[in-house]
Amino acid sequence: MSQEQPIVAFQGEMGAYSEQAVRQQFGKSAVPLPCPVFSSIFTAVADGRAHYGMLPIENSLAGTVIPAYDLLIDHDLRVQAEVVLRVEHCLMAPPGVSLADIHRVKSHHQALAQCEKTLRRLGVEPVDYYDTAGAARDLAANPEPHTAAIASELAAEAYGLEVLARHVEDLDFNFTRFFVLGRGETGRQDPSKTSIIFTTRHVPGALVAVLNELARRELNLTKIESRPRRNRPWHYLFYVDFEGHEMDTAVQAALLGILKHASFLKVLGSYPAAALTINNQQSTVNN
């Protein structure tokens, strides 16, 4: 299969929001490869079964996807791009079921929490399920009386369910950010971002010294996250994203400066920054 039909690994069932991110980034020609867990994404790309991996790293409401971040330190794949996906939850059921028939709704606990006010207004019982697309798939395969699912519109299409209501999330500003992972380098496109992981010496001012290397060169910090080092209790890894490309003179100087203060530095990649488009959508369930 040619690169014109890239195989892209993602975690979840067909119809998952991660598959929607694959479609958004690569178009309809992409071949999605479902994986059971995040680590399988890295394995599929590393052994050549997939050209790329689509890894969710943070949600604008729920925060960092911690298991995904922890895997970035263990693997040598490079970040090729970032994707920002607008998460739009749909209420769906088997054909012939109306909204008035629904008493119970199945979905992942995060999706249920993001639709809490809407579900309360409808007077339906939320039922926790392992996955949004999995809830849609299993409901289609084994319909239950008075039961619906919350998932993406892509999941409804994949499993033949009817969408009873769109945009049932309580807040409009629900976005998930993904890294596109690959084995090689990517061509430069501006504006760019660079992502790094580093550790500091356990001395006063060590973190400030590293961040000052960015500030001195007017490199804008867009994210910082700390995670425990698994081999050294009470020591931490820092994940940092900042604007700029590692080919830039300022970025190269900053990375050299960071090396003077850090005990470990890993560059995850420089990649095109995703544009954030915000559309205020109204639920098709009466507010």
Decide: residue 13, CB within 10 A, 0-12 exposed, 13-18 middle, 19+ buried.
Answer: buried
| HEC assignment per residue over 208-241 | HHHHHHHHHCCCCEEEEEEEECCCCCCCEEEEEE
Nearest to 122, CA basis, from 141, 98, 140, 139: 98
Residues, the chain, total? Answer: 287
Catalytic-labelled residue, pool 176, 194, 199, 200 = 176
| C-alpha distance from residue 238 to each of 8, 48, 221, 231, 262 (Å) | 28, 29, 13, 15, 10
Catalytic-labelled residue, pool 178, 179, 198, 238 = 178
Does residue 173 have an active-site annotation? no
Is 151:136 a contact under the CB 8 Å cutoff?
A: yes
Does residue 277 have an active-site annotation? no
Question: Cβ of 282: how many Cβ atoms within 10 Å?
Answer: 10
Q: Which residues contact 252 (CB under 8 A, 6 or more apart)?
A: 246
Q: How many CA atoms lie within 13 A of 71 on its CB side?
A: 21
Positions marked catalytic: 176, 178
